[in-house]
Amino acid sequence: RGGLEEFEVPLWVKSLEKLPKAVQAVIPDKAFTVRHVFSNNSALFPIYWLHVPKCGSSFLNALIHVPNACPGVPEDLVISDLTMGQDNIQGFWDKYPAGCPGSFATYGNHDGFGRHYKQWKGKAMTMLRSPEQRMISSFRDNRHSWPANWTNPPPRDIAAYAETVQGCAVKMLTRNGSSHTVEAWPIPNFGAIGPHWGGACGSPEEVTQQ
């Protein structure tokens, strides 16, 4: 554990101290100390990134700069559309395939945590946002996670969409399932379907089949 004093306080730790007092009150005091965050650094890995759709892909910037996580990545690297392209998460892993050896159990996909709980308990990290804002963003992003099939096109209004996809974070914590891709839909009213289809945030029937 020697050398902890050499660590510069990273931005993701500093950000904890800027949270509203009401939020800080529900976070254990020890979470705000750099020594606590780094004292069991090796025990953090591999990190299971529970990536809830539309809840901050940029969170990967904090994860890759956890001390010792990514020795093969430049210290000043910022992952964004400008630096890694529109699919910036995939762009990062393509550019630095060996940059974070053994540090991550997942790489930004939207897998349900249900069946992984016992294996990765205590190693999962996530970022959340206002459910309403997440829902609006998800709807506008090509009806993200909608459990479409050949007879179940995506709805055109957000209320109908929300009835199925709401509660995504809780579903991901308790369910299995992974979102998957479709290249193209020949049926015109399926044109809104984006690259992330189904998964843990889909309907119970869709998840049961996986």
Question: Nearest-CA neighbor of 84 among 73, 68, 69, 71?
Answer: 73
Q: Is residue 20 part of a domain?
A: no
Q: Is residue 11 part of a domain?
A: no
Q: Is residue 184 part of a domain?
A: no
Q: Is residue 33 part of a domain?
A: no
Mean pLDDT of 173-186: 68
The predicted pLDDT at position 177 comes to: 78
Q: Is residue 9 part of a domain?
A: no
Q: Is residue 17 part of a domain?
A: no
The predicted pLDDT at position 10 comes to: 57
pLDDT digits (tens, 9 = 90+) for 28-41: 554 444 445 555 56
**Cβ pair 179, 138 in contact under 8 A:** no
Q: Record the pTM.
A: 0.72
Q: Is residue 94 part of a domain?
A: yes
Domain, as residue range, for 122: 42-174
Name the DSSP letter for residue 151.
T
- Rounded Cα–Cα distance for residues 69 and 104 (Å): 8
What is the domain count for the chain? 1
Helix runs in the chain, H state only: 11-14, 21-24, 34-39, 59-64, 81-84, 88-95, 117-120, 131-140, 158-165, 168-174, 204-208
